[in-house]
Structure 1
Amino acid sequence: MFATAKAIQHRDPAAHSLLEVLLTYSGLHALAWHRFSHQLYQHRFYLAAGISAHLAKKITGIEIHPGARIGRHLFIDHGAGVVIGETAIVGDNVTILHGVTLGSRHITKGRRHPIVGNNVLIGANAQILGPITIHDNAKIGAGAVVLHDVAAGHTAVGVPAQAQPQQPTKIVQLAQN
């Protein structure tokens, strides 16, 4: 968790110190609690895992099902209202803003939640629904409702979301007076 805290500090311009991240970031606390709940779930202590996840949700405002698989260095920024479903898989170095749902569209057995690749940014209140894949280096815009796969390096925006290739970032230098 220490490495995750350092990764968060590096990615969040509002983080003033590593100690601040460790003590005050609810996304980091939810992730640490999820790691414990997930271990219980992996060992088939489903009730204990569920109770643990429920307590984490009450304390952090972030709901991560103990069955969800979470990669390294997840950053849940301003995490209130984040929901990550049971069969969701989240890759490494993913950033999730508040109000995001990685949810299901069907009540069936098997994989019913999204797979999120590495280095993905998911904007506030985005809803990513169903057994779809958000490939590496994709961006999901705030408020988007994503119902289909998003290709690597694409940005998805809108309701329902439409994906477009990302444009190279242009650096504009303003003249100083």
Structure 2
Amino acid sequence: MFRQMKSDIDTVFDNDPAARNKFEVIFTYSGLHAIWAHRVAHWFYKRRFCTVARIISQVSRFFTGIEIHPGAKIGQRLFIDHGMGVVIGETCEIGDNVLIYQGVTLGGTGKEKGKRHPTIGNNVVIGSGSKVLGSFSIGDNVNIGSNAVVLREVPSNSTVVGNPGRIVKQNGERVVDRLDHTKCPDPIIEMLRDMQRQIDDLKTELKQVQSEQISGEGQEE
């Protein structure tokens, strides 16, 4: 247990240049506190003391602003930087050497049973505000940009940005065509265009009716 805690503390120093000393890290890093609380909650959860596990999880959420479901499986050397607003779902699985920034959600997309949260590989960086939603895998060595919304599987060695998430780099090579925002459909613009087409059709029909009425009145005279 103490070896695990030491590894967690060392991870903070490896990822945060602002960390000055162990005393400061132990008592002021909410991400570290949330991970330690989760390990206790997960221990109870695996032994079917689910209510106790959820209570520990909720107390941790109150003090840290980070919500990790007791059922989530977390690997070694996870670092949650700043952390406020991070949510990790019940069936989520996180590999080793993962870095998560504030506002990240690793969640589901509905009320389905079973595996409904993502599986995160090793050496993954998830930028602040990102949402990874659904039961799919994020490969190893993946970078997810800030505020990205990832709704499908991402292969290893990729960089993902945007909403919806698009792969812009894979295996060190830039993937240009997937980041052409000019080709992304805008539902509001499409709706307005459809309304304009309908208005034009109605105008055309109205003109035809008016022409027929004028023609009919001329013939009666």
When normalised by structure 1's length, the TM-score is 0.92
Equivalent residue in structure 2 for 1:105, among 101, 109, 112: 109
Other-structure match for 1:92: 96
Amino acid aligned to 2:53:
A
Q: CA deviation at 1:165?
A: 1.2
Structure 1 residue 166, shift from structure 2 partner: 5.5
Corresponding residue number in structure 2 for 1:123:
127
* Corresponding residue of 1:51: 55
State the 1:4 CA deviation.
Answer: 1.1
Q: Tell me the residue number matched to 2:203.
A: none
Deviation string, structure 1 residues 136-168 (Cα, Å, up to 9, x no partner): 100000000000111111001000000131648
The alignment status of 1:19 with 2:23, answered yes or no, reads yes
CA distance in 1, matches of 2:25, 2:79: 11
Two-structure CA RMSD over aligned residues (Å): 1.1
Identity of aligned residues (%): 49
Moved over 4 A (4+): none
CA distance in 1, matches of 2:52, 2:11: 30
Q: Which runs of 5+ in 1 are unaligned?
A: 169-177
Paired with 2:78 and 2:129, the residues of 1 have a C-alpha distance of 17
Structure number with greater Rg is 2
Q: Give unpaired runs (5+ residues) of structure 2.
A: 174-221
Match of 1:148 in 2: 152
Calculate the TM-score normalised by the size of structure 2.
0.74
Task: Please say if residues 102 and 128 of structure 1, whose CA atoms lie closer than 8 Å, have aligned partners that are also in contact.
Answer: yes
Q: Which amino acid aligns with 2:9?
A: A
Q: Which residue of structure 1 aligns with residue 37 of structure 2?
A: 33
From the two aligned structures, give the one with the greater helix fraction: 2
- Secondary structure of the equivalent of 1:23? helix
Deviation string, structure 1 residues 101-156 (Cα, Å, up to 9, x no partner): 00000211110000000110000000000001111100000000000111111001
Q: Deviations over 1:40-87 (max 9, x none)?
A: 000000111111100000010000000000001100001000000000
